Amino acid sequence: MARARSRYAPDRGLTGRMVTTMFLIGLLYVVFVGVLLAALRGSWPIILIITGGLFIAQFWFSDRIAAYGMGAREVTPEQAPELHGTIDRICALADMPKPKVAIAESDVPNAFATGRSEKTALVCATTGLLRRLEPEELEGVLAHEMSHVAHRDVAVMTIASFLGVLAGIITRIALWGGFARSRPGNDPAGILLLLIPLISAVVYAISFLLTRLLSRYRELSADRAAALLTGRPSALASALTKVSGQMARIPTEDLRKAEPYNAFYFMPAFSAKESLGRLLSSHPTLEQRLDQLSRISTDLSR
């Protein structure tokens, strides 16, 4: 899944999980559309047009929408020389083309990457992150984000999340509009219509869990790849610890605004403490990430 000439360490575990997730999501998508076609036989052209249109919109525009929603503003080397210099060094280390570079005006210390491919990639750091991190810590964070671009997991997450979005829309339409009101209860099509909200909810839940499982692994993979590329896992560990500690000082209102984009961020706005919350979290725990970096540091020192 990663470019052949990238020097980021390949991750077969990530590749296998992305392929498995895409397969299962695709299977769910086929079942879901099949149920819609069976229940709304006379409306199949509309269904195909709507689902196809939503998929295209999700794939082509979701990264731009997310970047806009997070306040990313593209900057030139003259406007942000230190940020561009760090990205240039990482690109030279990884032998990758340079992505677009952006800054988000936010005191929440974070960074993210978006884009369907290396050609459309954008890497963004918040002003809060730039103000708080030392140069080597910032390099570790940005190398983490660049690994998402190299491994193409940003594009996979974009596609994988589409079915959940579609199922959520269908569920809301069904609950608000009442699909089956005009159908008699003993009509098989009417029964299918009654089942659409339930099936949509199940599809949404399964796709949500699949993307969360992939998201947690890809964050560990990005930490590992960044540590191996830069050769300084301690700098990334320091950045993780510092950003996590600073999150507690950010006003709750600002964190709430950032929370919808947690799956994109280097560090989630809120970290789940309970076991159920961890299951639904988009990121592994801080302890898991630091433990992995500690093992990598030990291995590199041998």
DSSP state of 34: H
- Among 145, 253, 259, 274, the active-site one is 145
- CA dist list (Å): 29 to 58, 146, 163: 14, 30, 6
Listed residue (234, 240, 269) closest to 252, CA to CA: 269
- Bridge-partner residues for 80, per DSSP? none
- Spatial separation of the C-alpha atoms in residues 104 and 83, rounded to whole Å: 12
Ramachandran region of residue 57, left (φ > 0), alpha (ψ -120 to 50) or beta? alpha
Secondary structure of residue 195 in the 3-state scheme = helix
Q: Judge whether 134 counts as a catalytic residue.
A: no
- CA dist list (Å): 186 to 42, 180, 190, 210: 19, 11, 7, 35
Q: What dihedral do alpha carbons 246, 252, 257, 263 form, nearest 10°?
A: 50
Which DSSP string corresponds to 204-256? HHHHHHHHHHHHHHHHHHHHHHHHHHHS-HHHHHHHHHHHHHHHTTS-HHHHH
**Rounded CA Rg of the chain:** 21
> CB atoms < 10 A from the CB of 168, how many?
16
Listed residue (164, 130, 150, 143) closest to 62, CA to CA: 164
- Spatial separation of the C-alpha atoms in residues 228 and 226, rounded to whole Å: 6
- E-strand stretches of the chain: 72-74, 100-104, 111-114, 122-126
Q: Which residues have a catalytic role annotated? A: 145
